[in-house]
Structure 1
Amino acid sequence: MNLLYANDRAGQYPRSWYAATTPPLAPFPALKGETRADVCVVGGGYTGISTALHLARAGRKVVLLEAHRVGFGASGRNGGQVLGGQRLDQIALERMVGTDDAAKLWQLALASVQIVRDLVAEGEIDCDLQPGALHTDWWDDEAAETRAYAEHLAERYDYTELEILDRAALGQVLHTDVYAGGLLDHGSAHLNPLAYALGLARMTAAVDVTIHETSRVHRAAPGLVTTDKGRVIADQVVLACNGYLGRLQGQTAARVMPINNFIVATEPLPEGAALHKRVCVADSKFVVNYYRTTPDNRLLFGGGETYGYRFPLDIAALVRKPLAQTFPHLSDVNITHAWGGTLAITMNRMPVFAAPEPGLWTASGYSGHGVAMATLAGKMIADAIQGDSASFDLMARVPSPRFPGGTALRWPLLAMAMRWFALRDKLGI
């Protein structure tokens, strides 16, 4: 199934709260005929736009191709969480890659948050960037592990932006008593993801990157990239497609699994009805619930699992279940917007950075942790193309196992695993 068109209308943003409230960019023309560039970037999300921006600033001629609209995919419809740290915690990374590389990965994660702040400030991007990200634990044993992890980060990495919250302290942040504890990261942030993506695209167009929308790529290899009505001749090609990679690059596709996730927006709520502070929140469930409030005090809540590539007919009903579990007093709240999106996960939840052949670069599989890291990935790819590949090589050294069963069986196997973990979430085991 081609996920580019499985659940969305060609060339149109989903009917999300973001799309309803974010001023759009004028469309960029589709590619027609032949053009030449130093680098062709495939994909108009954070990775692709950031790559194009940083390459153009370095003097390279860049053409960016997007099958729909810039910011159409996960970059324009996610939870907006700009999170510090890697997707895998530092203790696990220390075991996986050793303490030296784990320390370097931690520094990259800090840099990923900072580059978002810097670009927002530089481009004067109106995306409601706000500080603070809260992790919440449902069970006492999880809360104890979280406290120990915060102590580890303070001792080994000298990270002092974390505030441990017990059940009582959480009540000062959230209008719910369902959690056993939490960890507030003052160094992380959240934003309107579509407004951020469009702001980056505006900056990129301003440095003479040629952007073509509604230009689906059928073949991409160093030397030649082809679309329905045109082609780009370029020695260097960047695949920045994440959950929409399809069959463009088999080695990466075997390590990256597209999955769907869903978000709702409520009607404007009374002050403090959900959150007492404007932080973003993600909980400890395997099928993560994540949420935050908007400037007009709507609750944006993401969650719910499905086991197919088609979006459910009633997304609002699906997400209402975890919303009501988290905020029982909001079980009947009016939902004004409900949408789905396709992201990409990996076996170990760390992104896949790879150069499968000379002149071909890929980064994808951010596993729900991509706002900051995908932005930095673009700069890392641009630096590598310019000859400084240290950061790219560091990410590429992280093991990236294939999904079992190949592309044919990986989804059924994942669906079975998700059902099991969803059951564990419900049973609290």
Structure 2
Amino acid sequence: VPLPIASRWGDKVTDPLNNSYYRATANAWDTQPSFVGERDYDVAVIGGGFTGLSTALACAEKGLKVALFEAQSISFGASGRNGGQLIPGLRWSMREIDAEFGRERAQAIFDLAYGAVRRVNDRISQHGIDCDLKPGHLEAAYKPEHFADMQREADFLAREFGWNSEIVQPQGMGRHINGGGYHGGIYDSRGGHFHPLNYAVGLAQAALKAGVEIFEYSPVQRIDGDRVFAEQGKAKAQSILLAADNWMGDLDRELGGYTVPIMNYNIATAPLANADELLPSDAAIADSRFVLNYFRLSADKRLIFGGGEKYVQTPPTDIAAFVRKHMVEVFPSLADTPIDYAWGGAVAVTMNRLPHLGRKGNVFFAHGFSGHGALVTTLAGELLAEAVTGTMERFDVFAHLPNRPFPGGRLFARPLATLGLLWYALRDRL
């Protein structure tokens, strides 16, 4: 595995988990200065991932004076490390949402969650973001009963919400994947995949052009009323928008109790001569297990493969070996293929796996996208910008989703959550 290349971006601390293909192929980015002194803004955004960048950009487009504070480099966390899969919707099926909330609320949730596809595509087109965007996402059935459930959901989406996708019978899976022994799947042409870090860079560059002041390596130590205190200064802002995801508890202890971190790991192989044979349609693929495998081809024909969640934050001694065994279960022919990059990071997961948005006075927040945020985070940022300017209707659709903190407090929340997650992971094997 190549040496970590985080220093390419001027990172002050090299992260051994961020030896990623994305960092090695990132578009040019000029590191922004740290925050120093005292300044006044209309809006202070804390967090430089998809949510924070989208929030800052949307606020600036509304004519607000915006500062964005990032503790490390732009998109240092999950936004710059994820699998790059663009999966429409939320973690809940629309049948579950419809049954839980009724048709009127379900329609509003659908319009936002599935409309997020259009918002990401519009941002990429509007700002000319070079991020290897490709169409097509396939959910692959790990068990026959999973396929039956997928078909019911696809039929429901088409009938009740006009969202059409393709039901792929087991014998037709070879059009998309040759491997894995899957029992059919659902192909959605409006889903897809991209280079997530380059998307974030594009959002950041668009934000700078719109007038946002971005401050990297500027961790916020505390918030007091309308004041944001960084290491070397403080800012005053009428509204403060929290988009720190896994680090939310560092800013607001109560909000931190609504998520727990789950570690995910990815690898990128050397370029594959037979890449188009393995994945003929070039779609992103995620299987239906609770601890899922997810994979796709990069622009230069590497297999980017994620699999094997861990519920402890200590990484495997050898990330490449840890993920390889999952890859080889799907593609045995890759057993000896070189792994050029291996990396990992934490995903913030809520107890019900729905995003958590809300307001506490002049502080607005969005986090807990639960591994399903590559599309919805861009939308969430725009909802935060709407809320700050007094338009609450769409923001409230997500803010009224039921969320509650994990039981057990700071000491026991993670162990209790881990027990539950392990149970669901065990069901994959039964």
TM category (shorter chain) comes to over 0.9
Q: Are the aligned partners of 1:222 and 1:234 in contact in 2 as well (CA < 8 Å)?
A: no
Change (3 A) 1:220 1:273: farther
Q: Kindly state the Cα deviation for residue 146 of structure 1 after the two structures are TM-superposed.
A: 0.6
Give 2:344's match in structure 1, choosing from 329, 340, 343: 340
Describe the SS at the equivalent of 1:234.
strand
Q: Are the aligned partners of 1:189 and 1:279 in contact in 2 as well (CA < 8 Å)?
A: yes
**Pairs within 5 Å for 1:15-54:** 15-54=19-58
**Pairs within 5 Å for 1:178-327:** 178-271=181-274, 272-327=276-331
Task: Please report the RMSD computed on the Cα atoms of aligned residues, expressed in angstroms.
Answer: 1.4
Aligned residue number for residue 143 of structure 1: 147
Once the two structures are overlaid, the 10-residue window that deviates more, 50-59 or 9-18, is 9-18
Describe the SS at the equivalent of 1:363.
strand
Once the two structures are overlaid, the 10-residue window that deviates more, 401-410 or 417-426, is 417-426
Partner amino acid, structure 2, of 1:410: A
**Counterpart Cα distance in 2 of 1:323 and 1:64:** 38
Q: Which string of whole-angstrom CA distances, capped at 9 and with x for unpartnered residues, describes residues 131-168 of structure 1?
A: 111101111111111111111111111112x1011111
Aligned residue number for residue 3 of structure 1: none
Aligned residue number for residue 94 of structure 1: 98
Q: TM-score, normalised by structure 2?
A: 0.94
**Counterpart Cα distance in 1 of 2:345 and 2:224:** 27
Q: Kindly state the Cα deviation for residue 243 of structure 1 after the two structures are TM-superposed.
A: 1.3
The percent identity for this pair of structures is: 39
Q: Which string of whole-angstrom CA distances, capped at 9 and with x for unpartnered residues, describes residues 274-308 of structure 1?
A: 21111111111111111100122100000112231
Q: Are the aligned partners of 1:222 and 1:236 in contact in 2 as well (CA < 8 Å)?
A: no
Q: Kindly state the Cα deviation for residue 333 of structure 1 after the two structures are TM-superposed.
A: 1.8
Aligned residue number for residue 6 of structure 1: none
Q: Kindly state the Cα deviation for residue 412 of structure 1 after the two structures are TM-superposed.
A: 1.0
* 1:66 matched to 2:75: no
* 1:175 matched to 2:178: yes
Q: Which string of whole-angstrom CA distances, capped at 9 and with x for unpartnered residues, describes residues 241-275 of structure 1?
A: 11121231233212111221110000111233421
* 1:158 matched to 2:162: yes
Q: Are the aligned partners of 2:169 and 2:183 in contact in 1 as well (CA < 8 Å)?
A: yes
- Unpaired runs of 5+ residues, structure 2, are 1-10
Describe the SS at the equivalent of 2:156.
helix
**Counterpart Cα distance in 2 of 1:130 and 1:268:** 18
Q: Kindly state the Cα deviation for residue 171 of structure 1 after the two structures are TM-superposed.
A: 1.3
Aligned residue number for residue 377 of structure 1: 380
Q: Kindly state the Cα deviation for residue 11 of structure 1 after the two structures are TM-superposed.
A: 5.2
Q: Are the aligned partners of 2:249 and 2:255 in contact in 1 as well (CA < 8 Å)?
A: no
Q: Which string of whole-angstrom CA distances, capped at 9 and with x for unpartnered residues, describes residues 303-337 of structure 1?
A: 11223112222111111121111112222221110
Q: Kindly state the Cα deviation for residue 87 of structure 1 after the two structures are TM-superposed.
A: 2.1
Q: Are the aligned partners of 1:134 and 1:184 in contact in 2 as well (CA < 8 Å)?
A: yes
**Counterpart Cα distance in 1 of 2:163 and 2:295:** 25
Q: Are the aligned partners of 2:267 and 2:341 in contact in 1 as well (CA < 8 Å)?
A: yes
Q: Are the aligned partners of 1:262 and 1:341 in contact in 2 as well (CA < 8 Å)?
A: yes
Q: Kindly state the Cα deviation for residue 10 of structure 1 after the two structures are TM-superposed.
A: 4.2
**Counterpart Cα distance in 1 of 2:333 and 2:247:** 38
**Counterpart Cα distance in 2 of 1:97 and 1:225:** 37
Q: Kindly state the Cα deviation for residue 35 of structure 1 after the two structures are TM-superposed.
A: 1.2
- Unpaired runs of 5+ residues, structure 1, are 1-8
Q: Which string of whole-angstrom CA distances, capped at 9 and with x for unpartnered residues, describes residues 12-48 of structure 1?
A: 5722001101123111000111111011000001111
Q: TM-score, normalised by structure 1?
A: 0.94
Change (3 A) 1:308 1:150: same
Q: Are the aligned partners of 2:39 and 2:235 in contact in 1 as well (CA < 8 Å)?
A: yes
Q: Kindly state the Cα deviation for residue 222 of structure 1 after the two structures are TM-superposed.
A: 3.6
* 1:405 matched to 2:418: no
Partner amino acid, structure 2, of 1:201: A
Q: Kindly state the Cα deviation for residue 190 of structure 1 after the two structures are TM-superposed.
A: 1.1
Q: Kindly state the Cα deviation for residue 373 of structure 1 after the two structures are TM-superposed.
A: 0.5
Once the two structures are overlaid, the 10-residue window that deviates more, 11-20 or 46-55, is 11-20
Describe the SS at the equivalent of 1:235.
strand
* 1:365 matched to 2:361: no
**Counterpart Cα distance in 1 of 2:285 and 2:302:** 14
Aligned residue number for residue 87 of structure 2: 83
Describe the SS at the equivalent of 1:245.
helix
Q: Which string of whole-angstrom CA distances, capped at 9 and with x for unpartnered residues, describes residues 321-357 of structure 1?
A: 21111112222221110000122111111100010x2
